[in-house]
Amino acid sequence: MPTSSKAEILSLYRGFLRIIENWPNDYLRPNRNLKHVLYLRVTEGFRQNTVVKSPHIYNSLVSNAEKELNALRVLEENEFKEKYPLSDKMYRPAANPRYYFGLLAELDKAAKQKQIDDSTPPSWWRRLFGLGHYKEL
């Protein structure tokens, strides 16, 4: 194996899996879940690149993986939110101070309703006409 050891590669892989495990689920779009996409990309990427022979390509892949892992860590730890905090005026606009609270409440309500809709079977009318559940494209 070129310059990076198997232990370093395994450490990178585990780092990705730790971040993915902590990544929040998107209940509004379960069919377009970033957590799932990240998991597939990481597992496939590490599986496909186990047979790379060229040291230059191998080192480039390791370097890119380290950068991507660092970028995910920065997002996971909200470093930008802490580095560039928003003022209270941004969270409570003068025209409608409760706007964002209402928006969050509506999103939570929609997510809960989506979970309920997904857990209940379709009515016999829907089954009769082959409509089933509405699926996101």
Give 8-24 as a DSSP string: HHHHHHHHHHHHHHHSP
Asked if 39 and 6 touch (Cβ cutoff 8 Å), the reply is no
What is the 8-class DSSP label of residue 32?
Answer: G
Q: Tokens in use for 56?
A: 């230059």
Q: Is 60 exceeded by the pLDDT of residue 79?
A: yes
Q: Residue 3: what pLDDT?
A: 54
Q: Tokens in use for 43?
A: 């597992």
Mean pLDDT of 77-100: 90
Q: Within its chain, how far is the Cα of 36 from the centroid? A: 7
- The backbone torsions φ and ψ at residue 135, rounded to the nearest 5 degrees and listed phi first, read -110, 135
Query: Which residue, among 63, 58, 68, has the nearest Cα to 38 in the 3D structure?
Result: 68
Q: Tokens in use for 48?
A: 């496909």
Mean pLDDT of 93-116: 86
Q: Residue 136: what pLDDT?
A: 45
Mean pLDDT of 100-107: 89
Q: Is 80 exceeded by the pLDDT of residue 46?
A: yes
